[in-house]
Amino acid sequence: MSFISVFDVIGPNMVGPSSSHTAGACAIAHLAQKMLSGVLREVEFTLYGSFAKTYGGHGTDRALLGGIMGFDTDDVRIRDSFEIAGERGILYRFLTNEKDTDVHPNTVDIRMVNEEGTQMSVRGESLGGGKIRIVRINQVQVEFTGEYNAVIIIQKDRPGVAAHITRALSDRGVNIAFMRLFRESKGEKAYTIVESDDRLPEDITGQLLENPNIREVMLVQKQ
Amino acid sequence: MVDFKNAEELLALCSQGGQKISAVMKQRECDLGEVTMEQACGRMQKALTIMRQAAETPLETPVKSVGGLIGGEAGKLELHRSMGESICGAVLGRGIAYAMAVLEVNASMGVIVAAPTAGSAGIVPGLLLALQEEYHFSEEQMVDALFHAGAIGYLAMRNATVAGAVGGCQAEVGVAAAMAAGAAVELMGGEPRQSLDAAATVLMNMLGLVCDPVGGLVEYPCQNRNAAGVANALIAAELALSGIRQLIPFDEMLDTMYQVGKRIPYELRETALGGCAASPSGCRFCH
């Protein structure tokens, strides 16, 4: 379990009205946009459970859109995120799914498309009090909170990939706090999430990509 | 490394070092968050400043909520009190005005500090700021009180839930009031055990409270319940400070709250499908 800070309780400092439905939603989208390479052009949010039922009155839609544009939870621009997204030429839409009920009550799927047309989808859960986690990236179940600096690696499920990753990180003096592997199925696409207390060197990406089984590397820095 | 997983361990740490709950929580934040005491206290002072602003602004300048269900309540309470007509007395009268003010700011998409959530954000500042005015506590004491409140909220977040969608209003307003009650006991010179007894009392007295926002908005009955949370916190602190002991310790009450929360039906957990939201008058705002 990750560390719960006193400022997760007395906090976040945030634009209202709901820590789970406004600040949490903003935080999920804020984390999601960090995983997308290039410039966001189009975004689709699918809301489940309580999110689907009550998003309008909680400003969940404005908060998600604000977060996807990189706004923090206490940024008063969240109130005007529809207008700002319009000015930036970002296409957005909101869907609800009330059929699937075996998800966390505050769940959102975010499908992002960048200027090159590359798609990425992320599922996030708002756990209450502004705490969140990402539980799915492009159909693969993961667990990721954004509380640490992280590198997310998409790879082929082959021997030696994890060794390559740890070697590259140790060469650069990165201390690994957590490291987890997830895969679609044997021999197929897999994900590695490595979290560190310290900021990760930006050029670690190139070094990691030297292994032919590594397809994509996303750096998600805390600040 | 100072850390604790439950109230029992927290009390053990307090009695080992002869320390207050706030001091243990501050040390924990420095150790695990890898920050200096100055940084941690500075950040808490900033939270206190935002809280004060949200609690005071609507007393003079009412704000209308985005959903349109609330706005101006804090100003009415303040006027009533300033005319000497409050039947609650100074601390409770001020406390409920502040608590309702914070919810006004929150519902108008203004900046607040979640404590532990936004829908329950009025209770901790409401009671603590009212106590500061009455008893002239220093800013340092107020910052300590917020660390104390944070210790109780942390345990709720770790071992139960603070999400209305998971555990109902008892997990939001109930936990916020438990946080305020414990902090109030320490501010008034009570022992750590008395703080946790007060927190347990609040969870007991608010057990089973459902989350049923009219129209799905964090406005009504949320704002009223923040006032009720302040009253519950004040009552529980008074019981503890007078030496009344509680049969059920905080850890057990927290687990009880969580177990009850999980058995609250879906319709009564922030879905706006039951409770006040489904009453004929409330349902005029149904989707």
Q: What is the pLDDT of residues B75-121, one digit of tens each?
A: 999 999 999 999 999 999 999 999 999 999 999 999 999 999 999 99
Q: Higher-confidence residue: A167 or B287?
A: A167
Q: Following CA atoms B21, B26, B32, B34 in sequence, which dihedral angle do they give, to the nearest 10 degrees?
A: -170
Domain contains B115? no
How many domains does chain A divide into?
2
Domain contains A206? yes
Please give the structure tokens belonging to residue B141.
């004491």
Domain contains B254? yes
Q: Which residue among B29, B47, B270 places its CB closest to the CB of A50?
A: B270
Q: What is the pLDDT of residues B29-81, one digit of tens each?
A: 999 998 999 999 999 999 999 999 999 999 999 988 988 899 999 999 999 99
Task: Choose one of A92, A116, A138: the last residue of a domain.
Answer: A138
Q: Do A128 and B105 touch (CB under 8 A)?
A: no
In this structure, are A107 and A157 located in the same domain? no
**At A216, which CATH number?**
3.30.70.260
Domain contains B259? yes
Domain contains A215? yes
In this structure, are A29 and A54 located in the same domain? yes
Domain contains B203? yes
Domain contains A2? no
In this structure, are A30 and A77 located in the same domain? yes
Q: Do B32 and A5 touch (CB under 8 A)?
A: yes
Helices (H), A48-160: 49-54, 60-68, 81-87
The answer to whether residue A6 neighbours chain B at the CB level (below 8 Å) is yes
Q: Are A165 and A194 in contact (CB under 8 A)?
A: yes
Task: Choose one of A115, A138, A161: the last residue of a domain.
Answer: A138
Domain contains A74? yes
Domain contains B260? yes
In this structure, are A104 and A157 located in the same domain? no
Question: In whole angstroms, what separates CA B265 from the centre of its chain?
Answer: 24
In this structure, are A212 and A132 located in the same domain? no
**At A74, which CATH number?**
3.30.1330.90
In this structure, are A134 and A155 located in the same domain? no
Domain housing A199: 149-220
Q: Do A14 and B147 touch (CB under 8 A)?
A: no
Residues of chain B in contact with residue A79, where contact means CB-CB under 8 angstroms, are 109
In this structure, are A35 and A79 located in the same domain? yes
In this structure, are A113 and A64 located in the same domain? yes
What angle, 0 to 180 degrees and rounded to 10, lies between the N-to-C axes of helices B123-135 and B175-187?
20
Tell me the percentage of chain B whose pLDDT exceeds 70.
Answer: 100
How many domains does chain B divide into?
1
- B170 DSSP assignment: I
Distances in Å between the Cα of B245 and the Cα atoms of B43, B230, B235 are: 34, 21, 14
Which 130-189 residues of chain A touch chain B by CB within 8 A? 130-131
Classify A81 in phi/psi space as left (phi over 0), alpha (psi -120 to 50) or beta: alpha
In this structure, are A105 and A17 located in the same domain? yes
Domain contains B151? yes
In this structure, are A96 and A174 located in the same domain? no
Q: Give the Cα separation of B6 and B152 in Å (integer).
A: 9
Domain contains B66? no
Residues of chain A in contact with residue B154, where contact means CB-CB under 8 angstroms, are 4, 6, 8-9
The answer to whether residue A74 neighbours chain B at the CB level (below 8 Å) is yes
In this structure, are A11 and A39 located in the same domain? yes
- B269 DSSP assignment: B
Domain contains B72? no
SS3 A141: strand
Please give the structure tokens belonging to residue B16.
């080992």
Task: Choose one of A89, A104, A138: the last residue of a domain.
Answer: A138
Q: Give the Cα separation of B178 and B237 in Å (integer).
A: 9
Q: Is the dihedral of CA A76, A93, A144, B268 positive or negative?
A: positive
SS3 B274: coil
In this structure, are A155 and A121 located in the same domain? no
Digitized pLDDT (tens) for each residue of chain A, 223 residues in all? 468 999 999 999 999 898 889 999 999 999 999 999 899 999 999 999 989 988 888 899 999 999 999 999 999 899 999 999 999 999 999 999 999 888 988 999 999 999 999 999 999 999 877 889 999 999 888 999 998 999 999 999 999 999 999 999 999 999 999 999 998 888 888 999 999 988 999 999 999 999 999 999 999 998 7
Measured at the CA of A75, the angle between CA A72 and CA A81, to 5 degrees, comes to 95
pLDDT of residue A53: 84
Domain housing B36: 7-50+135-285
Q: Do B117 and A19 touch (CB under 8 A)?
A: yes
Q: Do A17 and B113 touch (CB under 8 A)?
A: no
